[in-house]
């Protein structure tokens, strides 16, 4: 079991996201008011705070949302979760892992600063199976593996 440490959105794609603290996951859509939400398999992105710390350890001043992830977690080994795993967030919301990592078609500012970026290798994506309110401090529970 882990916890949500940030809930992040952005109005446009290709930009860092801002921690809004509380958000609404919408069934088969994603995080309300986020540019990446929509009817596809990558509705919501997650990255572990442990992955953010790897970039801090090489000298970058980065925080949750800087990798364009919607939900930053702590205490869950996200990258080890197989596709199809169900994850519960807080009291209501439920998602299903649909993709591990992603291909970066363009190099982001973080890549140019550090020579690497964790999101393509350690970020995961889910689709929303059950909507609900999520907030910083909510439990993150892996239900199926």
- The pTM for the full model equals 0.90
Question: Contact at 8 Å (CB) between 134 and 3?
Answer: no
pLDDT score recorded for residue 132 = 98
Handedness of CA 99, 100, 105, 107 (dihedral sign): positive
DSSP for 2-27, please give it. EEEEEEEE-SSSSS--EE-SEEEEET
- Residue burial 46-79, b: 16+ Cβ < 10 Å; e: rest: bbbbbbbeebeeeebebbbbbbbbbbbbbebebb
Q: Among 2.40.33.20, 2.30.130.60, 3.90.1150.10, 3.40.640.10, what is the CATH number of 2-142?
A: 2.40.33.20
pLDDT, position 112: 47
Would you say 52 and 68 are in contact if contact means Cβ atoms under 8 Å apart?
Answer: no
**37-74: per-residue pLDDT in tens?**
999 999 999 999 999 998 889 888 889 998 889 999 99
Can you tell me the distance from the alpha carbon of 77 to that of 79, in angstroms, rounded to the nearest whole number? 6
* Residue 14: exposure state from Cβ atoms within 10 A (0-12, 13-18, ≥19): exposed
User: Across the 145 residues of the chain, what is the mean pLDDT of every consecutive 10-residue run?
Assistant: 96 88 98 96 95 88 89 96 97 96 57 53 93 98 83
Break the chain into its structural domains and give their ranges: 2-142
């Amino acid at each position: 079991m882990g916890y949500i440490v940030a809930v992040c959105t952005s109005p446009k794609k290709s930009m860092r996201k801002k921690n809004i603290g509380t958000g609404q996951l919408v069934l088969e859509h994603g995080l309300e008011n986020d540019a990446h939400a929509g009817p596809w398999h990558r509705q919501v992105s997650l990255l572990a705070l442990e992955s953010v710390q790897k970039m801090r350890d090489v000298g970058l001043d980065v925080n949750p949302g800087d990798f364009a992830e919607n939900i930053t977690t702590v205490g869950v080994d996200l990258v080890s979760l197989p596709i199809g795993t169900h994850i519960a967030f807080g009291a209501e919301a439920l998602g299903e892992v649909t993709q591990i990592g992603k291909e970066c078609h363009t190099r982001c500012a973080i890549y140019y600063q550090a020579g690497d970026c964790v999101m393509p290798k350690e970020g995961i994506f889910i689709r929303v199976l059950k909507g609900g309110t999520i907030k910083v401090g909510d439990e993150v529970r892996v239900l199926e593996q």
